[in-house]
């Protein structure tokens, strides 16, 4: 029998501080109108000084575990996706494992930029499909505000902080129907951030800020997300008309709308929350997934098209069959009619 996997719990956390476009007008030469016309972003959340990718990941994970009614001790593995870890090592997944008290779980990180969560979800589903593990926590968590040049209006308006998490469990139905992951490293210079190992003796004098060729990335993103969804749809043996909801990476409203238009999907079949959070990289899709559930946009048997792109350059998509969140309840025993004598 084929082992499927289902999302039994979804969690989300965003920092309390909100940075609006009007706040940014005081920092750089920009305006609310300029930002909204080009990105669709109105505001974004910024981590407090004592918040990190791991601390936010713990809070999102706790919400997901509570919804799934799963104890941390029941987790077999924790996979965390991030481009803004607490440090070079250990993995934030290990810090999250300790913070949750998941005493029996292995833990590791994935860095695939904004494709990180989808890569982690694909990885987790393979562990379950082979029967290696039964229950895996998958997290995307980012503090991108720490690697933003707040003097660069082309990037500082785009990004925000946040975390999302899901509990993936072995099941008889639900889960990935197909996924595709791609990379073209020749485009790395279009979207990147240096780090402490980029050059010896701290020669990166300009810091470790996100650098992006906006025009090239926009063109790449629309083409990449359209092709990835078409490929994943074909791989699943479905048609685009079978997609009930597209959950795209929340990078830019114009990119999302252009992708939907290229696919022939009506606007109402795309989940959008970029206006309130900006681009949260690997946290983007799980945060949008949680909000789609909160808005009652996820129904039993729905086919979801998760799609994303990021620095690498990388891109990918997953067709996911939705099954209701929460614990699996045992089926009630059938009630048999009895005769008048009770025999």
Active site residues: 114, 249, 279
Q: Give percent helix, percent strand, percent coil of the chain, each to the nearest 5.
A: 40, 25, 35
Q: Other CB atoms closer than 10 Å to residue 230's CB: what's the count?
A: 16
Quote the CA–CA distance of 103 and 106 in Å, as a whole number: 9
Quote the CA–CA distance of 209 and 152 in Å, as a whole number: 10
What's the DSSP call for residue 25?
Answer: T
Inter-axis angle of helices 53-68 and 92-100, nearest 10: 50
Q: Other CB atoms closer than 10 Å to residue 39's CB: what's the count?
A: 21
E strand residue ranges, the chain: 4-13, 17-20, 43-46, 77-81, 106-110, 135-143, 161-171, 175-183, 191-193, 210-212, 245-248, 303-310, 314-321
Nearest to 292 by CA among 304, 282, 276: 304
Residue 93 tokens read as 């997944």
Strands lying side by side in the sheet with 106-110 = 4-13, 161-171, 135-143, 77-81, 106-110
């Amino acid at each position: 029998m084929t082992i499927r996997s289902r999302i039994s719990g979804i969690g989300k956390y965003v920092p309390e501080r909100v940075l609006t476009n009007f706040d940014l007008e005081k920092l750089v030469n920009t305006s609310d109108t300029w930002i909204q016309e080009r990105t669709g972003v109105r505001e974004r959340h910024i981590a407090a000084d004592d918040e990190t990718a791991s601390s936010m990941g713990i809070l999102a994970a706790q919400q997901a575990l509570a919804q799934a009614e799963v104890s941390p001790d029941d987790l077999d593995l924790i996979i965390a996706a991030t481009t803004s870890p607490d440090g070079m090592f250990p993995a934030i997944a290990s810090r999250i494992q300790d913070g949750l008290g998941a005493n029996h779980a292995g833990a590791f990180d994935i860095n695939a930029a904004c494709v990180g969560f989808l890569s982690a979800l694909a990885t987790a589903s393979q562990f379950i499909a082979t029967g290696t593990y039964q229950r895996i926590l998958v997290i995307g968590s980012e503090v991108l505000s720490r690697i933003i040049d707040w003097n660069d209006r082309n990037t500082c308006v785009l990004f925000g902080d946040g975390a999302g998490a899901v509990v993936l469990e072995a099941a008889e139905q639900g889960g990935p129907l197909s996924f595709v992951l791609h990379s073209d490293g020749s485009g790395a210079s279009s979207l990147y951030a240096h780090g402490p190992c980029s050059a010896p003796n701290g020669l990166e004098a300009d810091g470790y800020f996100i650098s992006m060729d906006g025009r090239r990335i926009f063109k790449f993103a629309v083409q990449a997300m359209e092709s990835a969804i078409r490929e994943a749809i074909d791989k699943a043996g479905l048609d685009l008309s079978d997609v009930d909801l597209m959950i795209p990476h929340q990078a830019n409203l114009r990119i999302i709308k252009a992708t939907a238009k290229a696919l022939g999907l009506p606007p109402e079949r795309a989940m959008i929350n970029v206006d309130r959070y900006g681009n949260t990289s690997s946290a983007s899709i799980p945060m949008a997934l949680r909000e789609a559930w909160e808005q009652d946009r996820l129904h039993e048997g729905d086919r979801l098209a998760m799609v994303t792109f990021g620095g690498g350059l990388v891109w990918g998509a997953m067709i996911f069959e939705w099954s209701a969140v929460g614990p699996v309840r045992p089926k009630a025993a059938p009630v048999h009619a009895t005769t008048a004598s009770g025999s």
